């Protein structure tokens, strides 16, 4: 049954909605808008969520948007009645509002469509038992410990893929407490993963796209929350839904995970098609990654399309790539040598593949990116932005001291 709940102080609007409603109409008593869904249900004298809710913004636009977001996330189709200009449209989309109509406009068509989509779940919606069919590849970069260059690798993979598939690549920062993907790309996102899962974006891919931040290379980014406390609201189920929606909309979804096997990382790996195992060339790193690989194999969460990347490869470390392969049980796909250009690129927020250099590390990263393009439909490479390259050359002297610290030779293993 398509039931409608109306909140308004206008007798004229009440008559219009009553004439156009596709089912029984309940009008809330006069007064301010309810603060939340339970209060709305109490005022309407009901226990179940209405299929369609019409909110009159003359009762308070901010309050209407806030209530609309809560109702949309719960599953109702919300129609706003407002004479505001286009500025309201983007806020309403982020809140999950179904449609906006002007006072006095014909409501029959809008309420009819709202009722129809309430009866038949929208294709983009993701809820219990409703999962979009993935079309893209999910590439998760994982490591057993921090400090091995995971974010640097993730951002370069994402930027490299975006240069081949602009507007079709998204990078998700899943280090929900201390992620710094935005800093590594010199971005200042307005929204984060926490904002997305707290709103209707957690159930609607169209709304989710409005929470993404676009990078100058054509890459989209879903940043980590600024506050570690905000990460507590993000669950493994939230991560699963968000990655499922993104994989249904983008050709490549790159995930920068937190060190170890957290709830969020496990949820990401459950959606991952191409895991990238990252380690540094040292005994603690290799032992930790070996334990991680064994655990994931036992859980059946490590696809065959895995890649093993060794960072900070230095022959003076006392270990060889053969030692890595023998310990992990997987061949090394890419070994990234120590490079002065890496810390400089991180400090200025310009990934190596964006700067377009020709050093050995950049070439190795390009090789890794090309391995993901095999068998994928991607556009020809776009011209790499010159601004990033100039900026990197111009600002490299500033972090020179930091680069020297990163280049200290590793001690030999005892």
d(CA 277, CA 324): 12
Q: CA torsion 118→123→124→126, rounded to 10°?
A: 80
d(CA 294, CA 302): 9
Give the tens place of pLDDT for each residue, 142-189.
999 888 999 999 999 999 999 988 788 999 999 999 999 999 999 999
- Give the confidence band of 391 by pLDDT, cuts at 50, 70, 90: very low
- Give the confidence band of 386 by pLDDT, cuts at 50, 70, 90: very low
Segment 39-65 mean pLDDT = 91
The β-bridge partners of 101 are: 81
Residue closest to 142 by CA, chosen among 132, 131, 153, 134: 153
Question: Which position has the higher pLDDT, 74 or 3?
Answer: 3
The β-bridge partners of 337 are: 313
Residue 102 has pLDDT above 90, yes or no: no
- pLDDT of res. 376: 56
Would you give the DSSP letter of residue 95?
T
The residue whose two tokens read 């680069």 is: 403
- Give the confidence band of 200 by pLDDT, cuts at 50, 70, 90: low
Residues 6 or more apart whose CB falls under 8 angstroms from that of 349 comprise 183, 184, 185, 186, 187
d(CA 398, CA 281): 28
- Give the confidence band of 59 by pLDDT, cuts at 50, 70, 90: very high
**How many Å separate Cα 230 from the centre of its chain?**
15
- pLDDT of res. 202: 63
Structure tokens at 31: 């007064």
Residue 401 has pLDDT above 80, yes or no: no
How many C-beta atoms lie closer than 10 Å to residue 219's C-beta? Answer: 29
Segment 310-338 mean pLDDT = 87
- Give the confidence band of 404 by pLDDT, cuts at 50, 70, 90: very low
Residues 6 or more apart whose CB falls under 8 angstroms from that of 390 comprise none
d(CA 122, CA 18): 25
**Average model confidence (pLDDT) across the chain:** 82
- pLDDT of res. 267: 93
- pLDDT of res. 201: 64
Residue closest to 40 by CA, chosen among 74, 10, 13: 74
Give the tens place of pLDDT for each residue, 342-362.
888 889 999 999 988 888 899
DSSP H or E run through 58? none
- pLDDT of res. 1: 65
- φ, ψ dihedrals at 401, nearest 5°: -65, -40
- pLDDT of res. 123: 38
Would you give the DSSP letter of residue 143?
-
- pLDDT of res. 193: 92
d(CA 168, CA 141): 19
Segment 60-85 mean pLDDT = 87
Give the tens place of pLDDT for each residue, 109-151.
888 888 877 775 433 344 444 444 446 899 999 999 888 999 9
Q: What is the percentage of the chain residues whose pLDDT exceeds 90?
A: 44
Segment 287-292 mean pLDDT = 91
- pLDDT of res. 243: 93
d(CA 292, CA 265): 12
Structural domains in the chain, sorted by start: 4-119 (3.40.50.2300), 137-406 (3.40.50.300)
Encode burial over 313-324: b for 16+ CB neighbours within 10 A, e otherwise: bbeebebeeeeb
The β-bridge partners of 255 are: 140, 172
H helices of 136-188, where?
150-164, 181-184
The residue whose two tokens read 């899943």 is: 174
Residue 409 has pLDDT above 90, yes or no: no
- Long-range pairs, 86-91, Cβ under 8 A, ≥24: 88/57, 88/61, 90/210, 91/65
- Give the confidence band of 307 by pLDDT, cuts at 50, 70, 90: very high
- Give the confidence band of 228 by pLDDT, cuts at 50, 70, 90: confident
Residues 6 or more apart whose CB falls under 8 angstroms from that of 376 comprise 137, 165, 251, 252
β-pairing verdict for 52-56 and 169-174: unpaired
CA dist list (Å): 387 to 164, 354, 363: 18, 9, 20
CA dist list (Å): 379 to 161, 162, 171, 179, 215: 10, 9, 18, 30, 18
Residue 33 has pLDDT above 70, yes or no: yes
- pLDDT of res. 353: 92
Would you give the DSSP letter of residue 392?
H
């Amino acid at each position: 049954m398509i039931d409608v709940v109306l909140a308004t102080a206008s007798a004229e609007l009440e008559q219009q909605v009553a004439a156009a409603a596709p089912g029984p109409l309940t009008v809330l008593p006069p007064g301010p808008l309810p603060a939340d869904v339970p209060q709305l249900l109490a005022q309407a004298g009901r226990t179940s969520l209405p299929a369609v809710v019409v909110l009159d913004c003359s009762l308070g636009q901010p309050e209407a948007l806030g209530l609309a977001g809560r109702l949309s996330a719960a599953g109702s189709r919300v129609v706003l009645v407002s004479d505001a200009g286009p500025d309201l449209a983007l806020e309403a989309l982020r809140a999950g509002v179904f449609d906006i109509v002007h006072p006095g406009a014909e409501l029959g068509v809008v309420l009819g469509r709202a009722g129809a989509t309430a009866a038949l779940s929208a294709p983009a919606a993701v809820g219990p038992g409703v999962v979009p069919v993935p079309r893209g590849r999910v590439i998760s970069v994982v490591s057993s410990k921090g400090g091995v260059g995971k974010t640097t690798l993730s951002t370069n993979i994402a930027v490299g893929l975006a240069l081949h598939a602009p507007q079709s690549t998204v990078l998700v920062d899943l280090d929900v407490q201390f992620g710094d993907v935005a800093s590594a790309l010199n971005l200042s996102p307005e929204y984060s993963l926490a904002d997305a899962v707290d709103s209707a974006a957690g159930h609607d891919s169209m709304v989710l796209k409005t929470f993404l931040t676009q990078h100058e290379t054509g890459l989209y980014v879903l940043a980590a929350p600024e506050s570690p406390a905000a990460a507590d609201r993000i669950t493994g189920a939230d991560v699963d839904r968000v990655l499922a929606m993104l994989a249904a909309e983008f050709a490549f979804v790159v995930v920068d995970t937190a060190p170890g096997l957290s709830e969020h990382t496990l949820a990401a790996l459950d959606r991952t098609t191409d895991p990238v195992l990252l380690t540094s060339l040292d005994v603690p790193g290799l032992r930790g990654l070996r334990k991680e690989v064994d655990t994931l194999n036992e859980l059946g969460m490590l696809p065959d399309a895995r890649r093993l990347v060794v960072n900070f490869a230095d022959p003076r470390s006392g270990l060889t790539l053969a030692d890595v392969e023998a310990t992990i049980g997987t061949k090394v796909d890419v070994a990234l040598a120590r490079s002065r250009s890496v810390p400089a690129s991180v400090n200025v927020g310009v990934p190596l593949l964006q700067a377009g250099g020709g050093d050995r590390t950049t070439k190795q990263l390009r090789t890794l990116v090309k391995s993901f393009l095999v068998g994928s439909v991607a556009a020809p490479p776009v011209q790499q932005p010159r601004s990033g390259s100039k900026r990197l050359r111009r600002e490299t002297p500033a972090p020179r001291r930091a680069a020297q610290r990163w280049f200290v030779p590793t001690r030999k293993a005892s």
